[in-house]
Every structure is written in C-alpha cells, then in structure tokens.
Chains A and B, each alone.
Chain A
Amino acid sequence: DQQVKQNSPSLSVQEGRISILNCDYTNSMFDYFLWYKKYPAEGPTFLISISSIKDKNEDGRFTVFLNKSAKHLSLHIVPSQPGDSAVYFCAAYPSGTYKYIFGTGTRLKVLA
C-alpha cells in the first residue's frame, strides 16, 4: 500500500523553464511533507518542507504547494538549471509518529 505516490517516473525540462514535480498521498494524518533531492552515488539531501497548516512554502527557486483537499503536493523549480537534474523524492510523516514514508521518486532532467 503506497501511501505516497509520485506517478511520473521521469520528467525532462528545458533550462530556464519551470519544472513541476507532483506527489499524491492517501494518509490524511500526514502533518509534514518534505522534498529530497538525490544525485547518483550520493545520499538524498533535504530540499524544502511544508506543514499541513500551510499551502505554500518558498525557498529561492523552489516552491512547494500543498492542496490538502486533493491530497496533492507539488514542487516548482523556477528557473530550472542543469544542476537540478537529479531524482526527487517527496516524503511525509504524521506528527506523533516516527515512521517516515517516501514516494517512489521522479527523475528530473534539465536540458541545456
């Protein structure tokens, strides 16, 4: 039972354009959502997060949107750069628990 789903395994975007990565979840008890970025041969690194009481969080070129009614999360990267090419994982957990649930990942390729 996949509680966090990333339905697009891969995405290609031209440099300078917007990248939109999507994530859907089923557990309404999730309170916190995070995005991680992973380069080959490295561990994932934290990118940006949002709590369920917000609908948007911005950090430089990265913005995460949360639509609780649709149980949908998206990450926008504007403008996209070749260095953004990586696998992106969304993750979530309910407050009061210690179980971390990751999505299946989306491989982003930014074309120069």
Chain B
Amino acid sequence: EAQVTQNPRYLITVTGKKLTVTCSQNMNHEYMSWYRQDPGLGLRQIYYSMNVEVTDKGDVPEGYKVSRKEKRNFPLILESPSPNQTSLYFCASSFWTSGYNEQFFGPGTRLTVL
C-alpha cells in the first residue's frame, strides 16, 4: 500500500530535550516536506527536500533541522524544543513535475512541549 508513515503519532516532551520525528514514504517520491498545523494559521511549511541531500527552508524553519540521506526518509529534528513548537506536524511527499504536484500526507504527529 502506497503510504507516508510518521512516528511517533503522539509525543509529550519537556523543553530542551532533543527529539526526532521520523517520516518514511514507499512511493519513490523525490519531493518531501514537513508542515505544522496550528489553529487559525493553517498548514505552514517548515522544510522541504527536492531529492537526496537537497533541502531548503520553508516559511517557518526556526528551531528545526532536517536531513535527507535516503530517498524514502525525511526526519524532522528538534534540537532544543520549546513550548511554541507544540503543534500538529505533517510529513508529505510527491513527485515533482512541471505541472501540478499532488502531495501525499502522513497521518500526523501531535507534539506537546511542556
């Protein structure tokens, strides 16, 4: 089954404790991206990757890191989480063509930073 998986689905942590949210896709997509969803702000792009070893900042990259060492995986790293990073996070992937690009989303990770 074609899918994007994220782990963990729920996480409660404390300020400053490093964490990683994993994302994996089995569709051989070049493009992967991370978003956060907050009330009243919609989905905001954190980082995206056009292919292995190629990443770039989205609209809200502060406080986050990513890496793309393999095509299927795109982990999101919070080196020193803070309460303002409490949010619902989504990973997505797609092919990237010259036309429209439909993204496939994972089920989400709800993060709470105390």
Whether A43 lies near B92 (C-beta < 8 A) is yes
Q: Taking CB as reference atom, which chain B residue is nearest A44?
A: B105
If A32-B101, A99-B59 are given as contacts, then 4 extra A-B residue pairs at C-beta distance below 8 Å, sorted by A number, are A41-B107, A43-B105, A46-B102, A51-B100
Contact of A99 with B43 at beta-carbon distance under 8 Å, contacts A41-B108, A43-B108, A93-B101 already known: no
Residues of B within 8 Å of A, CB-based: how many? 29
B4 lies within 8 A of chain A by Cβ: yes
Whether B92 lies near A51 (C-beta < 8 A) is no
Interchain Cβ contacts within 8 Å, total number:
64
CB-CB contacts below 8 Å: A52-74 with B: none
CB distance from A2 to the nearest CB of B (A): 8
Complex Cα gap A43–B100 (Å): 19
The listed residue (A45, A93, A95, A102) touching B35 by CB distance below 8 A is A102
The interface stretch among B13-21, B44-52, B77-85 is: B44-52
Residues of A within 8 Å of B, CB-based: how many? 25
The listed residue (B50, B106, B107) touching A98 by CB distance below 8 A is B50
Whether A34 lies near B102 (C-beta < 8 A) is yes
Whether A104 lies near B40 (C-beta < 8 A) is yes
Q: Taking CB as reference atom, which chain B residue is nearest A3?
A: B59
1/0 per residue, CB under 8 A from A, across B27-60: the answer is 0000101010000111111001010000010110
